[in-house]
Amino acid sequence: MNFDFDEVIDRRGTSAVKWDKYAGRDVIPMWVADMDFRSAPAILDALKQRVEHGVFGYTDPPPELNDVVAASLERDYAWKVRPEWLMWLPGLVTGINLVSRAIGDDGDDVVTAVPVYHPFLSGPVYQRRTMTRVPMRLEGAKWIWDLERLEAAITPRTRLLLLCNPHNPVGRVFSRGELSALARIAEKRDLIIASDEIHCGLVLDRDKPHVCIATLGADVAARTITLMSASKTFNLPGLGCAFAVVSNDELRARLIRAAAGIVPRVTAMGFAAALAAYRDSAEWQRALVDYLRVNRDLLIERISAMAGLSVTPVEATYLAWIGVDPRLREPAEFFERAGVGLYDGRVFGAEGYVRLNFGCPRALLERGLARIASALTPRSR
């Protein structure tokens, strides 16, 4: 089947967060992480059917959903998950907050590596934890966890390690060896691991398989809460549906207690979309990843050729982490004036970077890249 990712769909007037930020201005939005593609046909059909039915009462997960998710985790990541290990959540950020709330006590510490998806930094603080940020290290062109600094940063009050894999914003797919090294530290210092794997369906490099950290061994699994969702891969963030996989019964019970009374159910539409995503949309996903890979290659080639910008390999996600010459101050504002809306790196805890979302039709990406290039090229008089 052919899917048309080239179609430019007008999202203006749909209250899209991404586009409304620049309503009435000629700025191409390439900031927040959703894609400008229509979702997979099977998902659209499932949603239409649900609407046709017309009754939207409180809804449990569809009976086959946990089995379908478990089967896809086994097929894609050789992870044997029992259906009862799943806990459904109305969003992954809810999961980050919930884990922060469930693990440790007020004033205990949570550690993560920066730059990182910003709710990793705010969620624990909202839940009255302190936050320790360990800067990632550039090894050649590769962003890696700085294990020495991580070990040094862990205190007796550190209870939780937040991992983002594949990593937003640096686009890494951490290898089995890298994950094992992190897991060893978590074991030695008795930390719970919360692993946000929301981007696992968007691996672009064919030779870098996603490894779920919970598959590394029984002890790692017992201390790990994995957070996942169909929302990035299938472009469903507006439908609010995510889940935690927790094999440790005691840990799962803690999460359920922490959620009581404050975390709403997933909506009927969110469940319908998730089921159609995991059960019926693998072909669309493969086509999407092929399309994103070409976008990625185009972006890397163009950005690498621009004076003042640098970019590291994007192994997964549709997000590029772009270094900006320090002489170019306030880079996000600079590019916004040039007609391209990017996220400032400071949002993710790092100065001198912007993050660009290339999950869009190629024509839009081309236009955005051309605007960036011409903003950087001094005009001839």
Ligand X SMILES: Cc1ncc(COP(=O)(O)O)c(C=O)c1O
DSSP class of 376: H
Distance CA 295, CA 333 (A): 24
36 near ligand X (CB under 6 A): no
196 near ligand X (CB under 6 A): yes
Site string for ligand X, 99-118 (x = CB under 6 A): ------------------x-
Which of 231, 235, 281, 295 forms a contact with ligand X (CB under 6 A)? 231
168 near ligand X (CB under 6 A): yes
229 near ligand X (CB under 6 A): yes
Stretch that binds ligand X, among 90-98, 101-109, 134-142, 247-255 (CB under 6 A): 90-98
Closest approach of Cβ 96 to ligand X, in Å?
7
Is 168 or 247 the residue whose CB approaches ligand X more closely? 168
198 near ligand X (CB under 6 A): yes
171 near ligand X (CB under 6 A): no
Closest approach of Cβ 2 to ligand X, in Å?
28
CA quadruple 114, 120, 122, 125: dihedral sign: negative
| Of 287, 294, 302, the residue nearest 340 (C-alpha) | 302
123 near ligand X (CB under 6 A): no
Closest approach of Cβ 182 to ligand X, in Å?
16
93 near ligand X (CB under 6 A): yes
Which of 27, 28, 30, 33 forms a contact with ligand X (CB under 6 A)? 33
Beta bridge partners of 121: none
CB burial class (10 A; 0-12, 13-18, 19+) of residue 4?
exposed
Which of 237, 323, 339, 349 forms a contact with ligand X (CB under 6 A)? 237
Q: How many residues does the chain have?
A: 381
Which of 47, 69, 81, 92 forms a contact with ligand X (CB under 6 A)? 92
Q: How many residues line the site for ligand X (CB under 6 A)?
A: 13
- The CB-side HSE value for 87 (13 A sphere, CA atoms) comes to 26
Stretch that binds ligand X, among 85-93, 106-114, 144-152, 259-267 (CB under 6 A): 85-93
Distance CA 192, CA 112 (A): 12
Strands, E assignment, the chain: 28-29, 86-89, 109-114, 130-135, 137-139, 142-144, 158-164, 192-196, 224-228, 242-245, 309-311, 319-324, 340-341, 343-344, 353-357
Q: Who contacts 278 (Cβ-Cβ below 8 Å, separation ≥6)?
A: 65, 68, 69, 72, 230
Residues in contact with ligand X by the rule CB under 6 A: 33, 91-93, 117, 164, 168, 196, 198, 229, 231, 237, 242
